[in-house]
A and B are shown apart, each in its own frame.
Chain A
């Protein structure tokens, strides 16, 4: 059947740019079980034993982490999972079958364990289905370790990834191949796919609902990340039109890159420090190309996705040290793991309200062993004195003090071990929870710097889940409460004479920039790819006028008025030299 040409889908334009490439439908079940004949059964059995040992090590680490937090029921499930790895009946059967049938261990493991799951699923008791789910978890762990992730290389280069949703570990996987664009059914502007796409400077369209049904593998797609349009199997004429656009854009980009070594200074001489957010190692090169002044946010959660288990101190140390060395002499701000319970505990931790649950500094304080590995690794990597450390999800002073106690403890340990580190390492707190914003004065007296995380701050302040499409329109970055809260935090930080920076998606919004400058921020940390444009805009602003604009916005009672005023200001004051770029963006 001949396919329709030029079918258009429309979603949320979440990362700018245009891409033309083949679709690659990514679904979780591509972690398929391979079957095949093997010749060396001894090696296969050895592989199985290694996979079991590795799985056991992973589980023991998890088990040792926060056992008191698990509750008896989950603790029992963990213990049972561990025991399954030692189940003599199960594995003598599996090994016998590998030797007799000469099939791949992953096939036999899956086949054998699935038999038990089927029995559980046949039961009429609801809890047996849950139990089957727990077994699934351990089965997948063994299989994953058996495969040692060889499947990663299967994804082809230069494709547009079409997925239901994309998790951080998925994007790590994709970062190894040259993905041209992301298209997802779920998600909003601040979903993971959007953030990563923006930082890697590739277009993304999210919130399409059923793209994965409407697009087929190997369909040719045009993704227009400026307008949120996807054209499926475009005609040659349409392709030509978009190729022209891509050409024009790359010319405009080159012009922006020329700004690389120039500072971001307003017309009347106020300098803004523009730092980069770092999600993936691969971005380090882009940081220099785009002229960032250091890294204002290293999201260390990536380490979890790579390892599929807890990153050891040594692995972390190497990772932090490498970034710090590459960025030297500029500063790198490393954020402590901002992970939720679902990340550390692979079983059955379904919090009814994860955003209000066990995550960020709360989880780290409860998991001193894990936290210690990170604090020690950061300290060890800080020898060149260009690392700062910050803690996420702080709600009260007590958490900052507990962190400081941990820091002192680790310093003492390292001293004893004769390991060098930056004795005066600076540390800061994220202000991303309303209670932290209200307490900004006291927080400012306790730390070396504050970093405002607008994504969470807005979400918590307005009680809007930014990933929930039904209410996401209520996620308003120009809500008067947001503007006033930002102003309060910045003012209190200045009174305490400490640095206040802002590291949410808001800093990548060109329309928000005059307001942020006017509110008195000295430092922004934003997606690498947004830095040249931000610089260009700041170079065309007058701080005095921005200050007036901010003061004005602080008086408005509605989002509508602030939004209108900011857009008006933007279109009147910002004259981007590159007409092409402005034309494509608007």
Chain B
């Protein structure tokens, strides 16, 4: 299992468009993917779940990946967070 800590860096935060993109990326991979924030552990392949996360600019999340292709999944999703959801 891989665990990554990410920070929201774009101004608008984790709004609907990036939420959808994250789920789309995650769905390409077989591994399990969870987002952990404020005591909530959200399945990253569930759009409605990811949408319940209120994550403003500056907030921190822990991402966990577990499964055969966890390396690649972790890399692509962490990278998407670090690019500020392509809104920088």
Task: State the A residues within 8 Å of B (CB).
Answer: 72-73, 76-77, 79-80, 83-84, 87-90, 113, 116, 119-120, 123-125, 127-128, 131, 134-135
With A87-B46, A88-B46, A127-B15 known as contacts, the answer to whether A80 contacts B20 (CB < 8 A) is yes
Binary CB contact string for chain B from 1 to 32 against chain A (1 if under 8 A, 0 otherwise): 00000000000000111011001100000000
Which of B47-55, B62-70, B76-84 is near enough to bind chain A? B47-55
A131 to chain B, nearest CB (A): 6
Cβ-defined contact, B45 with A88, below 8 A? yes
Interfacial chain B residues near A72, Cβ < 8 Å: 17
Is B43 an interface residue, CB under 8 A from the partner? yes
CA of A134 to CA of B51, assembled, Å: 11
A87 cross-chain contacts in B, Cβ below 8 A: 46-49
A131 touches B51 (CB 8 A): yes
A116-B51, A120-B51 as given contacts; A80 in contact with B16, CB under 8 Å: yes
B60 sits at the interface (CB 8 A) = no
Residue pair B46, A90 in contact (C-beta under 8 Å): yes
17 contacts between A and B (CB under 8 A): A72-B17, A73-B16, A73-B17, A76-B20, A77-B16, A80-B16, A80-B47, A83-B20, A84-B47, A90-B48, A116-B52, A120-B51, A120-B52, A125-B54, A125-B56, A127-B15, A135-B51
Q: Which residue of B lies closest to A72 (CB)?
A: B17
Q: Which residue of A lies closest to B23 (CB)?
A: A83
User: What does DSSP make chain A's interface, helix, strand, loop or mixed?
Assistant: helix
A113: B residues at CB distance < 8 A: 48
Give complex CA distance A127, B15 in Å.
9
Measured between beta carbons, the chain A residues less than 8 angstroms from B45 are 88-89
Q: Given the complex, which residues of A lie within 8 Å of B16, measured CB to CB?
A: 73, 76-77, 79-80, 131, 134
CB distance from A142 to the nearest CB of B (A): 12
Query: What is the total number of residues of chain B having a CB less than 8 Å from a CB of chain A?
Result: 18
Taking CB atoms, residues of chain A closer than 8 Å to B40 are 119
B47 touches A76 (CB 8 A): no
| Chain B interface (Cβ < 8 Å from any Cβ of A) | 15-17, 19-20, 23-24, 40, 43, 45-49, 51-52, 54, 56
Q: CA A227 – CA B35 in complex, angstroms? A: 64
A-B pairs with the 4 shortest C-beta distances? Answer: A89-B46, A76-B17, A83-B47, A123-B54
Q: Indicate if the CB atoms of B43 and A79 lie closer than 8 Å.
A: no
Note all chain B residues with C-beta closer than 8 A to A90: 46, 48-49
Instruction: Using A89-B43, A89-B46, A131-B16 as known contacts, say yes or no to A80 and B51 having CB atoms under 8 A apart.
Output: yes
Q: What is the CB-to-nearest-CB distance from A505 to chain B, in angstroms, rounded to a whole number?
A: 43
Closest Cβ of chain B: how far from A283's Cβ, in Å?
Answer: 43
Given contacts A79-B20, A120-B54, 18 further A-B contacts (CB under 8 A): A76-B17, A80-B47, A83-B23, A84-B48, A89-B43, A89-B46, A89-B49, A90-B46, A90-B48, A116-B52, A119-B40, A120-B51, A120-B52, A123-B54, A124-B54, A127-B15, A127-B54, A134-B16
Q: Once the chains bind, are A119 and B52 in contact (CB under 8 Å)?
A: yes
CB distance from B46 to the nearest CB of A (A): 4
Residues of B within 8 A of A88 (CB): 45-46
Alpha-carbon separation in the docked complex, A124 to B49 (Å): 17
| Residues in chain A near residue B46, CB distance under 8 A | 87-90
Q: How far is the CA of A77 from the CA of B15 in the complex (A)?
A: 10
Contacts of A128 in B (CB 8 A): 54
Distance from B84 Cβ to chain A, minimum over Cβ atoms (Å): 16
In the bound complex, CA of A287 to CA of B56 (Å): 61
Once the chains are docked, how many angstroms separate the CA of A293 from the CA of B45?
61
A562 to chain B, nearest CB (A): 54
State whether A116 and B20 are in contact (beta carbons under 8 Å apart), knowing that A123-B54, A127-B15 are contacts in the complex. no
Q: In the assembled complex, which residues on chain B have CB atoms less than 8 Å from the CB atom of A119? A: 40, 52
Report Cα–Cα, A135/B19, bound state, in Å: 14
Which residue of A has the minimal Cβ distance to B52? Answer: A119
A90 to B48 CA separation, bound complex (whole angstroms): 8
Quick one: which of B16, B54, B56 has the most chain A CB within 10 A? B16
Given the complex, which residues of A lie within 8 Å of B20, measured CB to CB?
A: 76, 79-80, 83
C-alpha gap A116/B45 in the complex (Å) = 15
Q: How far is the CA of A124 from the CA of B38 in the complex (A)?
A: 13
Closest Cβ of chain A to B36, distance in Å, is 15
| Contact in complex: B15, A76 (CB < 8 Å) | yes
Q: How far is the CA of A538 from the CA of B65 in the complex (A)?
A: 81
Q: Is the CB of B19 within 8 A of A80?
A: yes
CA gap between A76 and B15 in the complex, in Å = 9
Rounded to whole Å, the gap between the CB of B51 and the closest CB of chain A is 6
Q: How far is the CA of A123 from the CA of B15 in the complex (A)?
A: 14
CB distance from A119 to the nearest CB of B (A): 4
| Residue from B17, B20, B45, B48 with most neighbouring chain A CB atoms (10 Å) | B48
The chain B residue sitting closest to A123, CB to CB, is B54
**CB of B44, distance to nearest CB on chain A (Å):** 9
Residues of chain A contacted by B49 (CB below 8 angstroms): 87, 89-90, 116
CA–CA, A383 and B44, complex, Å: 56
Q: How far is the CA of A73 from the CA of B49 in the complex (A)?
A: 19
